[in-house]
A and B are shown apart, each in its own frame.
Chain A
Amino acid sequence: AQSVTQLGSHVSVSEGALVLLRCNYSSSVPPYLFWYVQYPNQGLQLLLKYTSAATLVKGINGFEAEFKKSETSFHLTKPSAHMSDAAEYFCAVRRGDSYDKEIFGPGTSLSVIP
């Protein structure tokens, strides 16, 4: 069975500082991994996805994530935070060998301090 943990329900960074949001997964087979962002009063939007090609994945708005199989991690980073990055971020995992449902982590709320 798949599962996802996100360390830190709330993260605060200063504008211009590095953003690091942590995601660890558990999967019995090679997974597909996704990061979604949710802005207030909106649905989730895809930031980036890992589908067994390159381990370093680049997404929208300057975000990227690195798949590390040995650490079962898929942490999300951005070199320089912008005020508009303040949102809720969700990591999700899905089986990579057959179609199956997506399992979401509990989410991390990112605040950006001016």
Chain B
Amino acid sequence: EAQVTQNPRYLITVTGKKLTVTCSQNMNHEYMSWYRQDPGLGLRQIYYSMNVEVTDKGDVPEGYKVSRKEKRNFPLILESPSPNQTSLYFCASSPEVGNQPQHFGDGTRLSIL
């Protein structure tokens, strides 16, 4: 089954404690992306990757890091989380073709205390 898998689905942690949210896709997609979803703001892109070892900032990259060492994986790293990063996070992937939609994971709800 084609899917994007995120882990964990839920996480409550404290300010400053480094965390990683993993994302893996099994569709051999070139393009992967991270979004955060906040009420009234829709989805805002954090980082994206056009292919292995190629990453770039989205609209809200501050406080986040990513890496793309393998085509299937695109982890999101919060080196020193802060309460304003409490949000719902989605990973997505798509072929590098403009008319193809993105496939989304089920989301990770992060609470930073």
Contact = CB atoms under 8 A, between A and B. Distances in A.
Contacts of B35: 104
Among A45, A97, A99, the one with the most B-chain Cβ atoms within 10 Å of its Cβ is A99
A12 interface: no
B102 interface: yes
B41 to A, nearest CB: 6
Interface residues of A, number: 27
Contact of B104 (A41, A43, A51, A105): A43
Interface in B42-73: 42-45, 48, 50, 58
Contacts of A104: 35, 42-44
B25 to A, nearest CB: 12
Interface residues of B, number: 25
A9 B4 CA distance: 28
Nearest to A52: B99
B96 interface: yes
Interface string B75-103: 00000000000000010100011110110
Interface in A13-71: 32, 34, 36, 41-46, 49, 51-52
A106 B42 contact: yes
Nearest to A44: B104
Contact of A95 (B40, B98, B101): B98
A92 to B, nearest CB: 8
Nearest to A53: B99
Given A41-B106, A42-B106, A44-B90, A99 B96 contact: yes
28 contacts: A32-B99, A34-B101, A36-B104, A42-B106, A43-B4, A43-B90, A43-B104, A43-B107, A44-B43, A44-B90, A44-B92, A44-B102, A44-B104, A45-B104, A49-B99, A51-B99, A90-B43, A95-B98, A96-B99, A97-B98, A98-B98, A99-B50, A101-B33, A104-B35, A106-B40, A106-B41, A106-B42, A107-B42
Interface of B: 4, 31, 33, 35, 40-45, 48, 50, 58, 90, 92, 96-99, 101-102, 104-107
